[in-house]
Amino acid sequence: MKLNPTDMKPIYVQIAEGIEDDILNGVLEEGSECYSQYQISRMFNINPATAAKGINILVQEGILYKVRGLGMHVSKGAKTMIRRKRHPDIAESARKLVLDAEKLGIGRDELIKIIRDVTIPEKEDK
């Protein structure tokens, strides 16, 4: 999770997305405890109210839930929820990629070939 103050997105949205990323990566497991607003606040030196806003977005979406006295936990099925929610984002990223490619005079076919050739090192298993 990291924050970028000059990003178009407000800090609390970035926090929500950062937590989502950590859930997708498996840093935060389903059913386990999530960061508290104070942990996030201390980690990034931001107002705890801002951190709480980010967490609350995820609570409303059902990705996190509150356990009385124990703080926020990651819901079962959170990964699927996030994947479904973020699916349109890929289209947006692709659009940006196409725009960038056009700037460089790279056609769609060539771009697709580049995408196919991208290699990602094998994920290490925990």
Partner 1 sequence: MNAVILQDLVKRFGKKKALDGISLELQENRIVGLIGRNGAGKTTLLRTLAGFLRPTVGSVLVFGQNPFDNIRVLSDIVLMDDERYTDNSDLRVLIDRAALSWSQFDKAMALKLLDYFNIPVKTKIKKLSKGMKTLFSLVIALLSRCPLTLLDEPTLGLDAAHRKEISSLLLKDYVNYPRTIIVSSHLISELEGLMEQVVLIDNGRLVFHKTIEDVQSYALYLTGRRSILEEQEGRRRVIYKESMGEMLVLGVVNDLSAEELRRLESSGIEISAMGVQDVCVNMTRQDEGGVLDVVSK
Q: Which is nearer to partner 1, 44 or 74 (CB)?
A: 44
Per CB under 8 A, 11 contacts partner 1 = yes
Q: Report CA-CA distances (Å) from 45 to 4, 8, 50, 94.
A: 13, 19, 11, 33
Per CB under 8 A, 10 contacts partner 1 = yes
Per CB under 8 A, 6 contacts partner 1 = yes
In the block, which residue shows the tokens 């050739």? 117
CB 76 within 8 A of CB 70: no
Binding-site size for partner 1 (CB under 8 A) equals 22
Binding mask 29-68 for partner 1 (x = CB under 8 A): ---------x--xx-xxxxxxx--x---------------
Q: Which is nearer to partner 1, 46 or 63 (CB)?
A: 46
Residues that bind partner 1 (CB under 8 A): 5-8, 10-12, 38, 41-42, 44-50, 53, 95-96, 99, 103
